[in-house]
Amino acid sequence: MIRILVLVIVVALAACNNPDNKNSTVKEKTQTDSLMDEVMEGHNVAMAKITKLHQTKNQIQQVLDSISKLPTDAKKNSAQYKMKLDSALNRLTRADVAMEKWMSEFNMDSASNDAERRIKYLESEKVKISTVKDAIINSLQNADSVIKKKF
């Protein structure tokens, strides 16, 4: 009886100390999990700015519409400011289109059965979404500075 009890304890301890134990309740994060988290973090930061981007585009368009209704002399005086507004609007639009394009092309399940290909895909997507995120943030900063200057 004591032999059986000792055997059970030894087997139990061996099972608890086995690093290959598949029944572990703690799942280690894989490289693909970490990359996916980084891609989604970039996406979430960019998406958090999209409403502000659309509002800023509308605000700039309203100012441009107002400038177009000014008398000829006032239009001439505001030509340089109008160029800056046009440029800011174009940057905002390009950033917006880039976000839409990235979202439509991103495949969450790409190469899910091939870890090596999935890692390459996610590394590439991380670079892409980082570029989009930066474009959104920079275009908003530029637009805010242009709007504040007035003419």
Cα distances (Å, whole numbers) of residue 22 to 7, 112, 115: 22, 21, 19
Lowest-pLDDT choice from 22-26, 72-76, 92-96, 140-144: 22-26
Q: Within 10 A of 63 (CB to CB), how many other CB atoms are there?
A: 20
**Are the C-beta atoms of 110 and 84 separated by less than 8 Å?**
no
Residue with tokens 């976000």: 99
Answer whether residue 88 is part of any domain: yes
Residue 138 placed within a domain:
yes
pLDDT in tens, 121-132: 999 999 999 999
Domain containing residue 133: 29-149
In this prediction the pTM is 0.78
Domain count, the chain: 1
Q: Please say whether the beta carbons of 112 and 118 come within 8 A.
A: yes
Please state the φ and ψ torsions of residue 112, each to the nearest 5 degrees.
Answer: -65, -20
The answer to the question of residue 22 being in a domain is: no
Q: How do residues 54-93 score in pLDDT, each as one tens digit?
A: 999 999 999 999 999 999 999 999 999 999 999 999 999 9
Residue 1 forms part of a structural domain: no
Interior/surface letters 32-53, b for 16+ CB within 10 angstroms, e for the rest: beebbebbeebbebbeebeeeb
Q: Is residue 3 domain-resident?
A: no
